[in-house]
Amino acid sequence: MVDNEKTGYNRFLLLVAGLGGLLYGVDVGIIAGALPYLEATSGLNAGQLSIVVAAVLLGSVISTLFAGALADWIGRKPLMMLSGVLFVFSIPMIALSRGYESLVLGRLLQGVSAGLIGVVVPLYLAECLAASSRGKGTGIFQWLLTLGIVTAAIVGMFFSIRVEEVAKLGDAARLFAFKDTAWRSIFWVSLPPGILFVIGSLMVSESPRWLFRRGQRDAAYAALLRSRTNQQADVELAEMEQAAATEKSKTSTGANVPGVNVQGSLLRRKYVIPFVLACVILACNQATGVNSIIGYNTNILLQSGLSDFQAHWGYVIFTIVNFLMTIGGVLLVDRKGRKFLLSVGSAGIIVSLLCTGVLFRRTEALRVDSRAAVQSMVDADQKVTLLYDERAADALLAANGDAGKAIRNRPTSLVVIYSYGDFRAATKAARSDDKAAKPIEITRESCVPANKVVAFFSNPFSNLDASRNASLRIDNALITPVPTAHNGWLVAVSLFVFMAFFAIGPGVCVWLALSELMPTRIRSNGMSIALLINQAVSTAIAAVFLPTVGKHGYSTMFFGFAACTVIYFVTAALFLPETKGKTLEEIEAYFEGAGS
């Protein structure tokens, strides 16, 4: 009966942590489905919409910076509750908003919640679960995170179908009203898991290792007994006491070194090596390009040769592959180990990225630049409006001589890269064979930030006032032949393979590497710093993705991602120790031995 109770508690603990992953995934994915309808009904300009979208990232960066210190101060359990409460409060603030300020504040709260969850839930799982199930438990966090992204994609698809049905009625007022309801409903859908996460966090125990470090030995032992047998609890408590005694002894010994407390220093290899390993793994995890490939997946598939309908369904399949293969990672992580899955996953990512880059390179080698022709279209207000259809494509290609003739009489896409003063932007790719396409509109509002705060984050060295009066400059107007649908499906398959290898390896193991490698003394703050590096890399890639794709093509980005993943593979295969089946104290002792 006792074993059944412990098994039931462990499952409940995993469920609560999984709900945290679900919220994190919803935070990442929910805006993609809501944004088209928010844009159509809110009356916000491009600069304001970009802040609404980016507010989650800003909130996440801010909270990640302080999450470790908060987790040490108030405890893991209270911080999980706080992150859930913030998420719950953010939903009505967004869904009921009637103005710009409440939207931004709600999205900031969502980001703060996501940043706290990204640190505290893997930290809590690592400290609460037995070594034999720690990999599976942290994997479930990632699994339900992918479920959150899938859910957001399916909810977005559902409302897009409904909007299309209402649009067929031909009633503009009714369509506007439904779009307004649609984006609000998309956010409301994410409220129930947030409430469940808060309730679940109230019912789990505090981390036994946090309690022990706070001097609450009996409470730590009681927390261990909720999920372990008496024998297992005795062994782990003894390991905690031994690790604490060793640390205290070596700290006092280090005091004998004149002027420097070497043994007590955070610069010991015991701390530096696992911290550096975790930071490299977190940085490389983003350098695979996973966030950009997810965020721009539909655009990538459109440019690979698929139709709009095929590209949207390709994205849904992409998210489902992510979800299903994460299950495989969860099942294998405690059997095959972290090092094996990270090595296999990063190797598969390299191959799939190279294949995708080669597929794009075949057509991007034929692209031509019609910059001069588009520059001549700039009107007195420093704007350009261009309907890119077959006639416009022929006219622009004719200005490029023989290079333009080589790709005439076939579908092409146009991307315009432009600037006003110190700020650059790129248009979405327009296809000449899209009969329902709207004209490309290049305006100052779509490029120059609305205020100095956004301008600083866009370009810290910019002159905003000068850019508001600068002339429009067309940097590139790149016309690329659209590949066949066959090529598009080859690209889709290679991206599915990318997602499969990412999900089964880095997707599951990255949270484990973050929480397992860090020694107890620096775990919470070290995780915050490593995640901050992770987000900084993600932000940098997001900032350069569209300009790089616009000027150099998707092939350049995919080859770059592959090169970064080589570093990931080398780190995982050669430098990362296997932590499968080891307690946190045993892992810490391994690095202590490496430094002795």
Residue the block writes with tokens 């911290």: 275
Q: Which residue has the higher pLDDT, 367 or 248?
A: 367
Please check whether residues 596 and 496 belong to one and the same domain: yes
- Residue 124's pLDDT is 84
* DSSP one-letter string for 138-200: HHHHHHHHHHHHHHHHHHHHHHHHHHHHHHTTT-HHHHHHHHHHHHHHHHHTTHHHHHHHHHH
Please check whether residues 162 and 66 belong to one and the same domain: yes
* Domain end call among 249, 269, 303: 249
Please check whether residues 465 and 489 belong to one and the same domain: no
Rounded Cα distance between 485 and 41, Å, is: 34
Please check whether residues 376 and 358 belong to one and the same domain: no
Exposed, middle or buried, 53 (CB in 10 Å: 0-12/13-18/19+)? middle
Look at residue 454 and tell me if it is in a domain: yes
- Residue 258's pLDDT is 44
Q: Are strands 384-386 and 368-369 parallel, antiparallel or unpaired?
A: unpaired
Please check whether residues 290 and 427 belong to one and the same domain: no
- Residue 193's pLDDT is 84
Please check whether residues 107 and 133 belong to one and the same domain: yes
Q: Which residue has the higher pLDDT, 215 or 539?
A: 215
Condensed to tens digits (0 to 9), the pLDDT of residues 408-431 reads 778 888 888 899 998 888 787 788
Q: Residue 318: which domain range?
A: 261-363+485-596
* DSSP one-letter string for 367-432: -EE-HHHHHTT--TTS-EEE--SHHHHHHHHHTTHHHHHTTTTS-EEEEEEEEETTEEEEPPPEET
Q: How confident is the model at residue 255 (pLDDT cuts 50, 70, 90)?
A: very low
The b-or-e profile of 123-133 (16+ CB within 10 A means b, else e) is: bbbbbbbbbeb
Q: Output the pTM of the full model.
A: 0.71
pLDDT at 494 over 90: yes
Rounded Cα distance between 187 and 155, Å, is: 10
Q: Are strands 472-481 and 384-386 parallel, antiparallel or unpaired?
A: unpaired
pLDDT at 259 over 90: no
Q: What is the token pair recorded at 217?
A: 């030995």
Backbone angles phi, psi at 192, to 5 degrees: -55, -45
Handedness of CA 299, 301, 307, 312 (dihedral sign): negative
Rounded Cα distance between 293 and 374, Å, is: 29
Look at residue 255 and tell me if it is in a domain: no
Q: In this predicted structure, which of 67-71, 139-143, 231-235, 337-341 has the lowest mean pLDDT? A: 139-143
Which residues pair with residue 161 across a beta bridge? none
Condensed to tens digits (0 to 9), the pLDDT of residues 461-472 reads 888 899 999 999
* DSSP one-letter string for 436-499: TPPPEEE-GGGTS-SSHHHHHHH-TT--HHHHTTPPEEEEEEEEEEPPPHHHHHHHHHHHHHHH
CA 15 to chain centre: 22
Q: How confident is the model at residue 496 (pLDDT cuts 50, 70, 90)?
A: very high
- Residue 267's pLDDT is 59
In this prediction, residues 507-521 reach a mean pLDDT of: 73
Please check whether residues 465 and 549 belong to one and the same domain: no
- Residue 265's pLDDT is 52
Look at residue 59 and tell me if it is in a domain: yes
Q: Return mean pLDDT, the chain.
A: 81
Q: What is the token pair recorded at 130?
A: 């037995």
Condensed to tens digits (0 to 9), the pLDDT of residues 553-568 reads 889 999 999 999 999 9
Number of domain units in the chain: 4
- Residue 8's pLDDT is 80
* DSSP one-letter string for 529-584: HHHHHHHHHHHHHHHHHHHHHHHH-HHHHHHHHHHHHHHHHHIIIIIPPP-TT--H
Query: Please, which residues have CB within 8 angstroms of residue 63's CB and are 6 or more apart in sequence?
Result: 111, 112, 113, 114, 115, 116
Exposed, middle or buried, 238 (CB in 10 Å: 0-12/13-18/19+)? exposed
